[in-house]
Amino acid sequence: MLALIQRVTEARVVVDGETVGAIGPGLLALVGIQPGDGAPQVARMCERLLGYRVFADEAGRMNRALAETGGRLLLVSQFTLAADTSSGMRPGFSTAAAPAEAERIFGELVAACRLRLPAGVETGRFGAHMQVSLVNDGPVTFLLQA
């Protein structure tokens, strides 16, 4: 499981002209599910998303985690993140989980994050063509693996 996280002042996902998920300050996480991902990866990624220290403390250092800031989390499934880009000029998707498996695992990640960050987790719409907009704060962007 991969997650490209960005510290944001705001982010939103629009599908067919309708906002389906939006947050103010917090993290936007683009999530790629890989074959074989399961409960251990869900637990580890949830821990990392909520505990990764990318927010400033009183001294301005990245020492605070999302769970400490009162910020929110916007999770967006993005199968292209798990693409094989190692050769050629076109991505391959054999390294991404099949849609049914990915949707199940992504749902488990959303549920796990909502348990630990009640009312603080928004999502895009799995499998939809989405427009994602954000204001990256920093900019701060990291690639997490679980």
Is the peptide bond preceding residue 139 cis, with omega within 30 degrees of 0?
yes
Dist. CA 56–CA 63, nearest whole Å: 6
Give φ, ψ of 48 to 5 degrees: -70, -45
Among 6, 78, 106, 123, the active-site one is 78
- The two structure tokens encoding residue 39: 């409960």
Q: Is 145 assigned a catalytic role?
A: no
The crossing angle, in degrees rounded to 10, of helices 39-51 and 99-116 is 50
Active-site residue flag, 80: yes
Q: Which is the catalytic residue, given 19, 80, 141, 145?
A: 80
β-strand pairing of 131-145 with 2-15: antiparallel
Strand segments (E) across 45-129: 53-56, 62-65, 72-77, 121-123
48: closest CA among 78, 75, 87, 81?
Answer: 75
Q: Which among 41, 79, 106, 123 is annotated as catalytic?
A: 79
123 is known as an active-site residue? no
Q: Are 9 and 72 in contact (CB under 8 A)?
A: no
Positions marked catalytic: 78-80
